Structure 1
């Protein structure tokens, strides 16, 4: 593949991932409520890998001709984000500061439904895959933007080029969301009292993003 195309694609993909969206809100919520972000991060990456595979196999071209599918996906993503946001708002994690004998360390106890996810990492994997798999922005990036960076006259077949470019996007997600998730945990360690605020903000952000997705989609339909 043309190195210039790869560089341009890498820059564009990283910029798209840096823009806050449903993935950001989910990773921040996980970073402030779970002992590890790895299950959630793995789920997000698996969701995008599945989309990349579908695009490389030609499903993306079919989806691009079905505007109604994007509409359905958008409303499904909005509903799922509201569900996750409400869960975080109803049961924000609680910080427990260990005794001085062990040296003032902060631990997290999750209220309500949160222990269920902590005890079952696979549930966080599924939730993460749901967030990324239903993320219209991710689908539009992989279906609409990726083909613009392919080279029909290149030595590699188009499906292989799409797969490589899609992996660049997934790699950018892994890097950015790791920084976001562990950054949230750093806030927890430095300011344990801020954790509940950050959790509530991330939960509210999911709901706001859901409303924004619906409003934007309705605007396109009218």
Structure 2
């Protein structure tokens, strides 16, 4: 596989990851409030790895040819983001320094939520289906499945390299500022709700059009 193709996709992937979205909101909420950065980011990585496996297995194109499947995925993703946003806003109302419920700060819970944020994002799947294939070559020495796996791994790696520092920066900057932490958490939660509703509205308007 040509290194230029990998480098080109890496540049595009970094640009896409750097644009604020559901992943940003989730990582900031985790870092600013409960400071569970690594499990949250690991969850995002697992979610994108699952999408990579779906595309490698050839199931991705099958989903895009079935509107009902994409509708279910969109509704599930939008609903999950909205639900997570509501939980994040409610968590921001806790008194700083007060004991929290075990499940609220469980690393495993943040891991699972991270998987849901990325794996249930239909736009993430569409990115893998529409952009990633442009950097593969059917006539290349490597099979297409291997090329997709490499590029998907690059995306997952950049996800970690970008969001881990972002999460720890939120922890470092906001950790000693309870008031600012509450505001940031509420903004992150509101962003998840808006993104979830916007995702659902976009799909509905697309169907109507």
TM-score clears 0.5: yes
1:214 equivalent in alignment to 2:200? yes
Report what 1:46 is aligned to.
46
In structure 2, the CA distance between the partners of 1:29 and 1:189, relative to structure 1 (3 Å rule), is closer
Where do 5+ consecutive residues of structure 2 fail to align? none
Q: In the aligned structure 1, how far is the partner of 2:173 from the partner of 2:69?
A: 39
1:15 equivalent in alignment to 2:15? yes
1:160 equivalent in alignment to 2:160? no
Report what 1:194 is aligned to.
180
TM-score after normalising by structure 2: 0.92
Q: 1:150 aligns with which of 136, 154, 158?
A: 136
The aligned runs of 1:172-187 (5 Å cut-off) are 172-187=158-173
1:205 equivalent in alignment to 2:191? yes
Q: In the aligned structure 1, how far is the partner of 2:43 from the partner of 2:83?
A: 17
Q: In the aligned structure 2, how far is the partner of 1:49 from the partner of 1:72?
A: 20
Q: In the aligned structure 1, how far is the partner of 2:185 from the partner of 2:35?
A: 14
In structure 2, the CA distance between the partners of 1:17 and 1:117, relative to structure 1 (3 Å rule), is same
Q: In the aligned structure 2, how far is the partner of 1:52 from the partner of 1:146?
A: 10
TM-score after normalising by structure 1: 0.87
- Residues 47-96 of structure 1 show CA distances to partners (whole Å, capped at 9, x for unaligned) of 11111112112112222222332222111111111111111112215434
* Matched position secondary structure for 1:95: coil
Following superposition, the deviation at residue 133 of structure 1 comes to 0.7
Report what 1:105 is aligned to.
none
The aligned runs of 1:54-203 (5 Å cut-off) are 54-92=54-92, 93-96=94-97, 109=98, 115-118=102-105, 120-189=106-175, 191-203=177-189
User: Post-superposition, which runs of at least 4 consecutive aligned residues in structure 1 deviate over 6 A?
Assistant: none
What number of residue pairs does the alignment pair up?
A: 207
Q: In the aligned structure 2, how far is the partner of 1:70 from the partner of 1:38?
A: 30
- Residues 112-142 of structure 1 show CA distances to partners (whole Å, capped at 9, x for unaligned) of xx64131x32221111111111012211111
> Any conservation in 1 of the 2:52–2:128 contact (CA below 8 Å)?
yes
